[in-house]
Structure 1
Amino acid sequence: MLALKHQAFLAEMQRRGQPEPDGLAQCFQLLSLASAIDQDCAQRLAPLGLSEGRFVLLFLLQGAEAPLSPHQLAERAGVTRATVTGLLDGLERDGLLERHADPDDKRRINVSLTTAGEALALTLFDQHTQWIRDLFADLNEAERTLLSDMLCRIWARTDAGRAA
Protein backbone atom coordinates (compact mmCIF):
# COMPACT_ATOMS: atom_id res chain seq x y z
CA MET A 1 0.00 0.00 0.00
CA LEU A 2 2.99 2.31 0.23
CA ALA A 3 3.97 4.51 -2.69
CA LEU A 4 7.35 3.64 -4.19
CA LYS A 5 9.00 6.78 -2.80
CA HIS A 6 7.90 5.83 0.71
CA GLN A 7 9.10 2.26 0.27
CA ALA A 8 12.45 3.64 -0.88
CA PHE A 9 12.68 5.90 2.16
CA LEU A 10 12.01 3.01 4.56
CA ALA A 11 14.51 0.81 2.68
CA GLU A 12 17.14 3.54 2.94
CA MET A 13 16.53 3.84 6.68
CA GLN A 14 17.00 0.08 7.00
CA ARG A 15 20.16 0.18 4.84
CA ARG A 16 21.58 2.85 7.16
CA GLY A 17 20.77 0.71 10.17
CA GLN A 18 18.34 3.23 11.59
CA PRO A 19 15.42 1.96 13.61
CA GLU A 20 12.02 2.78 12.18
CA PRO A 21 10.65 5.69 14.22
CA ASP A 22 7.20 5.18 15.65
CA GLY A 23 4.54 6.27 13.21
CA LEU A 24 6.71 6.66 10.12
CA ALA A 25 5.21 3.69 8.27
CA GLN A 26 1.70 4.84 9.23
CA CYS A 27 2.47 8.37 8.05
CA PHE A 28 3.62 6.99 4.71
CA GLN A 29 0.50 4.78 4.52
CA LEU A 30 -1.67 7.85 5.10
CA LEU A 31 0.22 9.89 2.48
CA SER A 32 -0.01 7.02 -0.02
CA LEU A 33 -3.74 6.66 0.63
CA ALA A 34 -4.34 10.39 0.21
CA SER A 35 -2.40 10.34 -3.05
CA ALA A 36 -4.37 7.32 -4.31
CA ILE A 37 -7.67 9.03 -3.48
CA ASP A 38 -6.53 12.21 -5.26
CA GLN A 39 -5.51 10.18 -8.33
CA ASP A 40 -8.81 8.28 -8.36
CA CYS A 41 -10.71 11.55 -8.07
CA ALA A 42 -8.78 13.09 -10.95
CA GLN A 43 -9.41 10.01 -13.12
CA ARG A 44 -13.14 10.15 -12.38
CA LEU A 45 -13.40 13.85 -13.23
CA ALA A 46 -11.07 13.97 -16.26
CA PRO A 47 -13.50 12.38 -18.79
CA LEU A 48 -15.91 15.21 -17.97
CA GLY A 49 -13.23 17.83 -18.63
CA LEU A 50 -13.10 18.66 -14.94
CA SER A 51 -10.42 18.99 -12.31
CA GLU A 52 -11.09 18.87 -8.58
CA GLY A 53 -10.94 22.68 -8.52
CA ARG A 54 -13.53 23.02 -11.28
CA PHE A 55 -15.75 20.46 -9.52
CA VAL A 56 -15.54 22.41 -6.26
CA LEU A 57 -16.67 25.60 -7.99
CA LEU A 58 -19.58 23.75 -9.60
CA PHE A 59 -20.96 22.47 -6.33
CA LEU A 60 -20.32 25.77 -4.54
CA LEU A 61 -22.32 27.59 -7.21
CA GLN A 62 -25.01 24.90 -7.29
CA GLY A 63 -25.48 25.13 -3.52
CA ALA A 64 -25.53 28.93 -3.38
CA GLU A 65 -28.82 30.70 -2.88
CA ALA A 66 -27.71 33.56 -5.13
CA PRO A 67 -24.98 34.17 -7.70
CA LEU A 68 -21.51 34.48 -6.17
CA SER A 69 -18.64 36.79 -6.98
CA PRO A 70 -15.22 35.41 -7.91
CA HIS A 71 -13.97 36.75 -4.57
CA GLN A 72 -16.63 34.80 -2.65
CA LEU A 73 -15.82 31.66 -4.62
CA ALA A 74 -12.10 32.03 -3.89
CA GLU A 75 -12.80 32.39 -0.16
CA ARG A 76 -15.17 29.43 -0.05
CA ALA A 77 -12.86 27.19 -2.09
CA GLY A 78 -9.75 28.26 -0.17
CA VAL A 79 -7.84 29.33 -3.26
CA THR A 80 -6.54 32.60 -4.71
CA ARG A 81 -8.55 34.92 -6.93
CA ALA A 82 -6.13 34.17 -9.78
CA THR A 83 -6.81 30.44 -9.43
CA VAL A 84 -10.56 31.04 -9.43
CA THR A 85 -10.31 33.22 -12.53
CA GLY A 86 -8.60 30.42 -14.46
CA LEU A 87 -11.14 27.84 -13.26
CA LEU A 88 -14.05 30.12 -14.15
CA ASP A 89 -12.61 30.78 -17.61
CA GLY A 90 -12.59 27.05 -18.38
CA LEU A 91 -16.06 26.42 -16.95
CA GLU A 92 -17.46 29.37 -18.90
CA ARG A 93 -15.77 28.18 -22.09
CA ASP A 94 -17.44 24.79 -21.56
CA GLY A 95 -20.85 26.43 -21.17
CA LEU A 96 -21.26 25.44 -17.52
CA LEU A 97 -21.46 28.93 -16.02
CA GLU A 98 -22.11 32.54 -16.88
CA ARG A 99 -20.59 35.76 -15.63
CA HIS A 100 -22.80 38.80 -15.42
CA ALA A 101 -22.67 42.29 -13.95
CA ASP A 102 -24.04 42.69 -10.42
CA PRO A 103 -27.39 44.51 -10.69
CA ASP A 104 -26.51 46.77 -7.74
CA ASP A 105 -22.92 47.52 -8.74
CA LYS A 106 -22.03 47.22 -12.42
CA ARG A 107 -18.31 47.10 -11.54
CA ARG A 108 -18.79 43.75 -9.79
CA ILE A 109 -19.15 40.42 -11.55
CA ASN A 110 -21.36 37.60 -10.33
CA VAL A 111 -21.21 34.00 -11.44
CA SER A 112 -24.04 31.50 -11.80
CA LEU A 113 -24.44 28.07 -13.37
CA THR A 114 -26.07 27.51 -16.71
CA THR A 115 -28.74 24.82 -16.98
CA ALA A 116 -26.05 22.39 -18.16
CA GLY A 117 -23.80 23.34 -15.25
CA GLU A 118 -26.62 22.90 -12.76
CA ALA A 119 -27.46 19.43 -14.09
CA LEU A 120 -23.82 18.34 -14.11
CA ALA A 121 -23.21 19.66 -10.57
CA LEU A 122 -26.22 17.81 -9.17
CA THR A 123 -25.41 14.50 -10.82
CA LEU A 124 -21.69 14.66 -10.19
CA PHE A 125 -22.03 15.65 -6.53
CA ASP A 126 -24.24 12.62 -5.87
CA GLN A 127 -21.84 10.32 -7.74
CA HIS A 128 -18.81 11.75 -5.95
CA THR A 129 -20.29 11.45 -2.46
CA GLN A 130 -21.34 7.87 -3.17
CA TRP A 131 -17.82 7.03 -4.35
CA ILE A 132 -16.39 8.42 -1.10
CA ARG A 133 -18.95 6.47 0.96
CA ASP A 134 -17.90 3.32 -0.89
CA LEU A 135 -14.26 3.90 0.09
CA PHE A 136 -15.25 3.68 3.75
CA ALA A 137 -17.96 1.03 3.36
CA ASP A 138 -15.93 -1.70 5.11
CA LEU A 139 -15.63 0.38 8.27
CA ASN A 140 -18.46 0.31 10.78
CA GLU A 141 -19.56 3.45 12.61
CA ALA A 142 -17.32 2.80 15.62
CA GLU A 143 -14.29 2.29 13.35
CA ARG A 144 -15.03 5.48 11.40
CA THR A 145 -15.36 7.40 14.68
CA LEU A 146 -12.08 5.94 15.97
CA LEU A 147 -10.32 6.76 12.69
CA SER A 148 -11.66 10.30 12.78
CA ASP A 149 -10.55 10.77 16.38
CA MET A 150 -7.06 9.47 15.60
CA LEU A 151 -6.72 11.67 12.52
CA CYS A 152 -7.82 14.71 14.55
CA ARG A 153 -5.18 13.94 17.19
CA ILE A 154 -2.49 13.71 14.53
CA TRP A 155 -3.77 16.88 12.77
CA ALA A 156 -3.50 18.77 16.08
CA ARG A 157 0.25 18.04 16.14
CA THR A 158 0.87 19.51 12.67
CA ASP A 159 1.81 23.15 12.15
CA ALA A 160 -1.52 23.75 10.42
CA GLY A 161 -3.42 22.07 13.24
CA ARG A 162 -1.66 24.12 15.89
CA ALA A 163 -2.38 27.31 13.93
CA ALA A 164 -6.08 26.51 13.58
Structure 2
Amino acid sequence: MLAPKHQAFLAEMQRRGQPAPDGLTQCFQLLSLAAAIDQDCARRLAPQDLSEGRFVLLILLQGAEQALSPHQLAERAGVTRATVTGLLDGLQRDGLLERHADADDKRRINVCLTAAGEALAVSLFDQHTQWIRGLFADLSSAERRLLSGLLCRIWARTDAGRAP
Protein backbone atom coordinates (compact mmCIF):
# COMPACT_ATOMS: atom_id res chain seq x y z
CA MET A 1 0.00 0.00 0.00
CA LEU A 2 3.02 2.29 -0.11
CA ALA A 3 3.45 4.79 -2.90
CA PRO A 4 6.48 4.11 -5.09
CA LYS A 5 8.35 7.16 -3.74
CA HIS A 6 7.97 5.83 -0.19
CA GLN A 7 9.03 2.33 -1.22
CA ALA A 8 12.12 3.87 -2.84
CA PHE A 9 12.95 5.76 0.35
CA LEU A 10 12.71 2.63 2.49
CA ALA A 11 14.77 0.66 -0.05
CA GLU A 12 17.45 3.36 0.06
CA MET A 13 17.50 3.17 3.86
CA GLN A 14 18.04 -0.56 3.63
CA ARG A 15 20.75 -0.12 0.96
CA ARG A 16 22.57 2.30 3.26
CA GLY A 17 22.40 -0.15 6.14
CA GLN A 18 20.21 2.15 8.21
CA PRO A 19 18.48 0.71 11.28
CA ALA A 20 14.89 -0.51 11.13
CA PRO A 21 12.56 2.22 9.85
CA ASP A 22 10.75 2.60 13.23
CA GLY A 23 7.72 4.70 12.42
CA LEU A 24 8.75 5.51 8.86
CA THR A 25 6.76 2.68 7.35
CA GLN A 26 3.64 3.75 9.23
CA CYS A 27 4.18 7.40 8.30
CA PHE A 28 4.53 6.43 4.64
CA GLN A 29 1.43 4.22 4.89
CA LEU A 30 -0.51 7.17 6.28
CA LEU A 31 0.79 9.51 3.57
CA SER A 32 0.00 6.95 0.86
CA LEU A 33 -3.51 6.48 2.26
CA ALA A 34 -4.11 10.24 2.38
CA ALA A 35 -2.94 10.58 -1.23
CA ALA A 36 -5.22 7.71 -2.32
CA ILE A 37 -8.20 9.31 -0.58
CA ASP A 38 -7.40 12.67 -2.22
CA GLN A 39 -7.19 10.98 -5.64
CA ASP A 40 -10.48 9.16 -5.09
CA CYS A 41 -12.09 12.41 -3.99
CA ALA A 42 -10.87 14.20 -7.11
CA ARG A 43 -12.24 11.40 -9.33
CA ARG A 44 -15.60 11.57 -7.57
CA LEU A 45 -15.87 15.36 -7.99
CA ALA A 46 -14.56 15.51 -11.58
CA PRO A 47 -17.88 14.60 -13.27
CA GLN A 48 -19.39 17.77 -11.75
CA ASP A 49 -16.35 19.79 -12.91
CA LEU A 50 -15.40 20.40 -9.29
CA SER A 51 -12.10 20.39 -7.47
CA GLU A 52 -11.93 19.76 -3.74
CA GLY A 53 -11.49 23.52 -3.23
CA ARG A 54 -14.63 24.34 -5.21
CA PHE A 55 -16.52 21.59 -3.35
CA VAL A 56 -15.44 23.00 0.03
CA LEU A 57 -16.72 26.46 -0.93
CA LEU A 58 -20.07 25.01 -2.00
CA ILE A 59 -20.40 23.23 1.35
CA LEU A 60 -19.39 26.35 3.31
CA LEU A 61 -21.92 28.47 1.45
CA GLN A 62 -24.64 25.83 1.71
CA GLY A 63 -24.15 25.57 5.46
CA ALA A 64 -24.01 29.32 6.09
CA GLU A 65 -27.00 31.05 7.62
CA GLN A 66 -26.30 34.15 5.51
CA ALA A 67 -24.22 35.20 2.54
CA LEU A 68 -20.47 35.16 3.19
CA SER A 69 -17.73 37.47 1.98
CA PRO A 70 -14.77 36.11 0.02
CA HIS A 71 -12.60 36.98 3.04
CA GLN A 72 -14.79 34.85 5.33
CA LEU A 73 -14.72 31.98 2.85
CA ALA A 74 -10.92 32.15 2.63
CA GLU A 75 -10.60 32.00 6.42
CA ARG A 76 -13.06 29.13 6.80
CA ALA A 77 -11.52 27.12 3.94
CA GLY A 78 -7.97 27.81 5.12
CA VAL A 79 -6.81 29.25 1.80
CA THR A 80 -5.68 32.65 0.54
CA ARG A 81 -8.06 35.30 -0.74
CA ALA A 82 -6.47 34.97 -4.18
CA THR A 83 -7.25 31.25 -4.21
CA VAL A 84 -10.85 31.92 -3.16
CA THR A 85 -11.25 34.51 -5.90
CA GLY A 86 -10.26 31.97 -8.57
CA LEU A 87 -12.53 29.31 -7.11
CA LEU A 88 -15.45 31.73 -6.89
CA ASP A 89 -14.90 32.87 -10.48
CA GLY A 90 -15.26 29.29 -11.71
CA LEU A 91 -18.31 28.55 -9.56
CA GLN A 92 -19.98 31.76 -10.70
CA ARG A 93 -19.18 31.01 -14.35
CA ASP A 94 -20.85 27.61 -13.88
CA GLY A 95 -23.97 29.25 -12.44
CA LEU A 96 -23.53 27.78 -8.95
CA LEU A 97 -23.16 31.03 -7.02
CA GLU A 98 -23.78 34.75 -7.22
CA ARG A 99 -21.87 37.75 -5.90
CA HIS A 100 -23.77 40.78 -4.64
CA ALA A 101 -22.72 44.12 -3.20
CA ASP A 102 -23.46 44.34 0.52
CA ALA A 103 -26.55 46.43 1.28
CA ASP A 104 -24.75 48.39 4.03
CA ASP A 105 -21.32 48.72 2.44
CA LYS A 106 -21.20 48.71 -1.36
CA ARG A 107 -17.44 48.03 -1.27
CA ARG A 108 -18.08 44.66 0.34
CA ILE A 109 -19.10 41.65 -1.74
CA ASN A 110 -21.30 38.86 -0.43
CA VAL A 111 -21.49 35.41 -1.98
CA CYS A 112 -24.48 33.06 -1.99
CA LEU A 113 -25.44 29.90 -3.83
CA THR A 114 -27.89 29.81 -6.70
CA ALA A 115 -30.66 27.20 -6.61
CA ALA A 116 -28.46 24.96 -8.79
CA GLY A 117 -25.51 25.44 -6.42
CA GLU A 118 -27.66 24.66 -3.40
CA ALA A 119 -28.99 21.46 -4.96
CA LEU A 120 -25.52 20.32 -6.00
CA ALA A 121 -24.04 21.07 -2.58
CA VAL A 122 -26.74 19.10 -0.77
CA SER A 123 -26.43 16.13 -3.12
CA LEU A 124 -22.63 16.04 -3.08
CA PHE A 125 -22.43 16.47 0.70
CA ASP A 126 -24.61 13.41 1.20
CA GLN A 127 -22.67 11.38 -1.38
CA HIS A 128 -19.32 12.48 0.04
CA THR A 129 -20.16 11.68 3.65
CA GLN A 130 -21.52 8.24 2.68
CA TRP A 131 -18.34 7.52 0.73
CA ILE A 132 -16.11 8.54 3.66
CA ARG A 133 -18.18 6.48 6.08
CA GLY A 134 -17.72 3.54 3.73
CA LEU A 135 -13.94 3.85 3.99
CA PHE A 136 -14.17 3.20 7.73
CA ALA A 137 -17.12 0.77 7.66
CA ASP A 138 -14.97 -2.27 8.48
CA LEU A 139 -13.69 -0.69 11.69
CA SER A 140 -15.60 -1.15 14.91
CA SER A 141 -16.38 1.93 16.98
CA ALA A 142 -13.62 0.89 19.39
CA GLU A 143 -11.14 0.65 16.51
CA ARG A 144 -12.19 4.08 15.21
CA ARG A 145 -11.70 5.56 18.68
CA LEU A 146 -8.28 3.91 18.96
CA LEU A 147 -7.27 5.16 15.50
CA SER A 148 -8.45 8.66 16.34
CA GLY A 149 -6.50 8.67 19.58
CA LEU A 150 -3.33 7.44 17.88
CA LEU A 151 -3.65 10.04 15.12
CA CYS A 152 -4.16 12.78 17.71
CA ARG A 153 -1.02 11.69 19.56
CA ILE A 154 1.00 11.82 16.35
CA TRP A 155 -0.56 15.17 15.35
CA ALA A 156 0.50 16.64 18.70
CA ARG A 157 4.14 15.88 17.79
CA THR A 158 3.98 17.85 14.51
CA ASP A 159 4.81 21.53 14.21
CA ALA A 160 1.17 22.23 13.35
CA GLY A 161 0.00 20.28 16.39
CA ARG A 162 2.27 22.25 18.69
CA ALA A 163 1.35 25.64 17.23
CA PRO A 164 -0.69 27.91 19.50
State the Cα deviation string for residues 91-121 of structure 1 (Å, max 9, x = none).
0000000001101111110000000000000
Structure 1 residue 21 displacement after superposition: 2.9
Structure 1 residue 19 displacement after superposition: 1.5
User: Aligned partners of 1:84, 1:20: CA distance in 2, in Å?
Assistant: 44
User: Aligned partners of 2:32, 2:21: CA distance in 1, in Å?
Assistant: 18
State the Cα deviation string for residues 103-141 of structure 1 (Å, max 9, x = none).
111111000000000000000000000000000000000
Say whether 1:33 aligns with 2:15: no
Residues 71 and 81 of structure 2 are in contact (CA less than 8 Å); yes or no, is this contact kept in structure 1?
Answer: yes
What does residue 63 of structure 1 align with? Answer: 63
Q: Secondary structure, in 3 states, of the residue corresponding to 1:100?
A: strand
Say whether 1:92 aligns with 2:100: no
What does residue 120 of structure 2 align with? Answer: 120
Q: Secondary structure, in 3 states, of the residue corresponding to 2:110?
A: strand
Structure 1 residue 16 displacement after superposition: 1.1
What does residue 110 of structure 1 align with? Answer: 110
Q: Secondary structure, in 3 states, of the residue corresponding to 1:98?
A: strand
Q: Secondary structure, in 3 states, of the residue corresponding to 1:112?
A: strand
User: Aligned partners of 1:67, 1:80: CA distance in 2, in Å?
Assistant: 19
Letter in 1 for 2:129: T
Residues 2 and 29 of structure 2 are in contact (CA less than 8 Å); yes or no, is this contact kept in structure 1?
Answer: yes
What does residue 158 of structure 1 align with? Answer: 158
Letter in 2 for 1:150: L
Structure 1 residue 20 displacement after superposition: 2.1
Residues 92 and 98 of structure 2 are in contact (CA less than 8 Å); yes or no, is this contact kept in structure 1?
Answer: yes
Residues 70 and 111 of structure 2 are in contact (CA less than 8 Å); yes or no, is this contact kept in structure 1?
Answer: yes
What does residue 82 of structure 1 align with? Answer: 82
What does residue 10 of structure 1 align with? Answer: 10
What does residue 149 of structure 1 align with? Answer: 149
Letter in 1 for 2:30: L
Structure 1 residue 47 displacement after superposition: 1.1
Structure 1 residue 22 displacement after superposition: 1.2
User: TM-score normalised to the size of structure 1?
Assistant: 0.99
Say whether 1:129 aligns with 2:129: yes
Structure 1 residue 44 displacement after superposition: 0.5
Letter in 1 for 2:47: P
User: TM-score normalised to the size of structure 2?
Assistant: 0.99
